[in-house]
Amino acid sequence: MMNKNRNVTRHYRFTILIPEYNEEDNIFPLESKLHLFLSTSIYPTCVVFINDGSTDDSLNRIREVCTRNEHFFYISLEKNGGLSAALKAGFDYTFSDYVGYMDADMQTDAEDFNLLLQDIENYGLVTGIRADRKDSFFKKFQSKIANGFRRMMTKDGVSDTGCPLKVMHTDLAKRIPLFNGMHRFLPALILLQNREVQQIPVRHYPRFAGESKYHLWNRLTGPFIDCFAYRWMKKRYINYIVNENNIEE
């Protein structure tokens, strides 16, 4: 288990996780956007890149940007495990009050984190909604079907769970159970902890460089299967609150 007392994120209020897989052409442009946001963030903020077993030059570029930016850090996974595994690693290695994440594809803007952070004290999770989504008709059509089915199965009331811009309380994030497809159910998994979820419109842009890692299976068919896994887990989810102890100093 990660030692909190040796973890640099404990010195910040907010940590941005950047899970990435083979996004070498986006690393440097993303560096500029994140560097700008850190100077305007309403909370002291750091960035943690999570290299999910990339086979291109992503890791070398991440090391480079972390060397020249005081508040940038990274985790590199031994092999590609997918977005849910990368996020779980990020949650495990984060000890700031709040944790958020965004994709490395440059389709969302780090500046919009301030919109989400304004409400985070009152909610367990604040998620973005892509108000004017800049994707192809077919891609948006697939997401619309998947989102509708997920809402029916989870009753989470979230219109765009696929928006890669979210902020949550770190202690709640650490209690989220790990399973493949977990990232699609973050709002629902926060609701299971008896905390509320807020939705905020954010900006969306065409992909800057690289290629999407999603296709018909993991955008449509995979989420359908994951919904049944979530329903099974929901009935067996353990939720407890400790009201007294003499363990913590």
What are 71-127's pLDDT values in tens digits? 999 999 999 988 889 999 999 999 999 999 999 988 889 999 999 999 999 999 999
Alpha-carbon torsion 204, 208, 213, 214, what sign? positive
Mean pLDDT of 119-148: 72
Contact by Cβ (8 Å): 6, 38: no
Overall size of the chain counted in residues:
249
SS3 state of residue 225? helix
**With the CA atoms of 198, 136, 112 and 29 taken in that order, what torsion angle do they form, in degrees rounded to the nearest 10?**
150
Q: How far apart are CA 107 and CA 35, in angstroms?
A: 17
Please check the confidence at residue 168 and state whether its pLDDT lies above 50: yes
First to last CA, the chain: 19
Contact by Cβ (8 Å): 46, 16: yes
Q: For 186-226, what is each residue's pLDDT tens digit?
A: 888 888 888 999 989 998 776 666 565 544 445 555 666 67
224's tokens? 């359908």
177 pLDDT band (50/70/90 cuts)? Answer: confident
Residue entry with tokens 């800057």: 208
pLDDT of residue 215: 46
Q: How far apart are CA 182 and CA 150, in angstroms?
A: 12
SS3 state of residue 46? strand
pLDDT of residue 244: 76
